[in-house]
Amino acid sequence: MADVQIIDVSPRDGLQNEPAIVPTEKKKRLIEMLVDSNVKKIEATSFVHPRKVPQMADAEQVIKQCETFGEIEFVALIPNQKGFERAKQTNVSEVNWVTAATETFNCKNIGMSIDENFGQFKTIVQESKALNIKICFSIAVSFGCPYEGEVAPAKVISLVERAAEVGVDRIGIADTIGIATPKQVKQLLAEVMQVVPSIPIAIHLHDTRGLGLANAYAALEAGVNIFETSVSGIGGCPFAPGAAGNLATEDLVYMLERMGVRTDIDFEKLLAAADFAASLTSNQPLGRIRQVEKRGKCK
């Protein structure tokens, strides 16, 4: 059994800001390659309004395509109640609700205040449970905001407590603009896990300033064992000009396996998925291991 769980978000976070529409069949192929590499949980799409994120307009079709992949868990991001109404009509395993730790980011990203956003969230929690759909509550800009600067840990903890009260299945802490340091990550996650010891905590890391792996190690040291990453490091935050993408799944797997932390992921097949993901993006791929000329196994 794996020591950690890796949730690959490349089909959603990796592709959502691509200007050229990626055909549904190519998204399915990326997901298929991730499944083949033994990634057990994948954030496949987002039920956002097609006018706002045209790349995700085929959300229903993507989830339908995923039905052929057996026991894999598929996650879909939902920004609001309307997104949930669409998601619940599919066979999605889990919905990921995102709010932000700052009012400005929340308004610009979602068009609501934090309280308005949370009010909608509360209305769908019980319905999702009745439908046997897991629900994750993710907190964007948990370490720093492009509009309000550094984020006080107390703001994040307050949202964690509110989410726990309504009965979420998982809580995600996101370094949306890739500004966190290992010390910040370890301290905040240790506090989060102390506040909600019985709820699984995930960390979502961006590698904007090259600290993604260091921050992943800090999260591991704090006791976190769920990581959201993207093959080839594709994606990134549109609100951080010039920002690099997500922490590359293959880089994290390489580091963890070298440390003796089991991921149960087939590294060579994961590299193939990273190569394919890179071919779908117009940005420079971020993954470092896939660029190594001689690809050795994790030893």
Q: What are 174-232's pLDDT values in tens digits?
A: 999 999 999 999 999 999 999 999 999 999 999 989 999 999 999 999 999 999 999 99
Report which secondary-structure segment, H or E, holds 217: helix 212-222
- pLDDT reported for residue 296: 52
237 is catalytic: yes
Report, as an integer, the average pLDDT of 131-142.
97
* Residue 122 Cα to chain centre, angstroms: 21
pLDDT in tens, 91-100: 999 999 999 9
- In the predicted model, is pLDDT for residue 294 greater than 90? no
Q: In which domain, by residue range, is 244 found? A: 5-291
Instruction: Evaluate whether residue 196 is within a structural domain.
Output: yes
Instruction: Evaluate whether residue 298 is within a structural domain.
Output: no
Chain position carrying tokens 């590299």: 271
Chain length of the chain: 299
Sign of CA dihedral 99, 102, 106, 109: negative
Task: Give the start-end residues of each E strand in 179-289.
Answer: 201-205, 226-229
- pLDDT reported for residue 282: 79
CA 254-98-210 angle, to 5 degrees, is: 35
Count CB neighbours of 282 within 10 A: 9
Instruction: Evaluate whether residue 299 is within a structural domain.
Output: no
- In the predicted model, is pLDDT for residue 241 greater than 70? no
Which is more confident, 289 or 195? 195
Which amino acid, residue 241?
A: P
Say whether 160 sits in a helix, a strand or coil: helix
What CATH number does residue 280 fall under? 3.20.20.70
Instruction: Evaluate whether residue 231 is within a structural domain.
Output: yes
SS3 content of the chain, % helix, strand, coil (to 5): 45, 20, 40
Q: Which of the residues 107, 136, 237, 298 is marked catalytic?
A: 237
Count CB neighbours of 125 within 10 A: 17
Instruction: Evaluate whether residue 296 is within a structural domain.
Output: no
- pLDDT reported for residue 253: 98
pLDDT in tens, 244-270: 689 999 999 999 999 999 999 999 999
Count CB neighbours of 141 within 10 A: 28
Total domains present in the chain: 1
